[in-house]
Amino acid sequence: MIFDTHAHYDDEAFDPDREELLASLAGAGIRAVANVGASLESCRTTIELTKRYPWMYGVLGVHPSETGELTDEGLSWIGKEAENREKIVAIGEIGLDYYWEEPDHEIQKKWFIRQLELARELRLPVVIHSRDAAKDTLDIMKEQKAGEIGGVIHCFSYSREMAREYLNMGFYLGIGGVVTFKNAKKLKEVVEYMPLDRLVLETDCPYLSPVPNRGKRNSSLNIPFVIAEIAQIKGIPSKAVEEAAWENAFKLYRMKPEVTG
């Protein structure tokens, strides 16, 4: 059984066939999915998906690239929804993204900290997005004692040394399609190094499809390719990867496995 811990099924890329695709997941062993908000609007559509599909859970937060739109009112709304809806399991995706010039880095930092504080208040884990911002992300997380909050570093893309920092804080590492890329040497080293009990599987769909479907629209149906690559790197059976990641996902989101039905 597979838990896709990070998906964006509300994305317009799925508009043509969302219902059919989601209906096909259970038959492929995908038994749970966490749909992750990136903007206030996608938080709303995430909530709607959790209402419609019993096995769909929600993560609410504002991606660093969307923090220019965030206000105190918007943050308050996220907090109320996360607190009052049982199927909202984390705050995210939040963090820093310096790949683009906007929003200003100070704005990103402000709302990263505010959303970390919100997660602490609600006693929910966090889903961290960090792109080209390794030092600032880690510095803020240490300053905010994020290890007390807990969560996952989504789409982990940094060095083994950085992985060690987050593993020592008790964080999980989200591994997806990138690990299958030939040029992902650094990530393969991280996967080899990290303990199996800190691994969770994710797609970030519709983005980051694994080989052999790289460049195409991603979905949870591609996770077996990721499992196979991780198993090869670690020299263990694919079943061992699948079972460990399943258990880890429920620990990450502080859920009981039986809630998926």
Q: Where are the domains of the chain?
A: 2-260
Can you tell me whether residue 40 is helix, strand or coil? helix
Per-residue pLDDT tens over the stretch 195-206: 999 999 999 999
**What was the pLDDT predicted at 258?**
58
pLDDT at residue number 90: 98
147-173 mean pLDDT: 98
Tokens of 191: 């996967």
Mean pLDDT over the full length of the chain: 97
| CATH, range 2-260 | 3.20.20.140
Residue 102 has pLDDT above 50, yes or no: yes
Contact 49, 88 (CB under 8 A): no
pLDDT above 50: residue 91: yes
pLDDT at 260 over 90: no
- Over range 92-96, report the average pLDDT: 98
Q: What phi and psi, each to the nearest 5 degrees, are found at residue 242?
A: -60, -45
Beta-strand runs (E) in the chain: 2-7, 30-36, 56-60, 88-97, 126-131, 151-153, 172-175, 199-201
The type of residue at 31 is R
Please give the pLDDT value at position 233. Answer: 98
Q: What is the pLDDT of residues 187-246, one digit of tens each?
A: 999 999 999 999 999 999 999 999 999 999 999 999 999 999 999 999 999 999 999 999
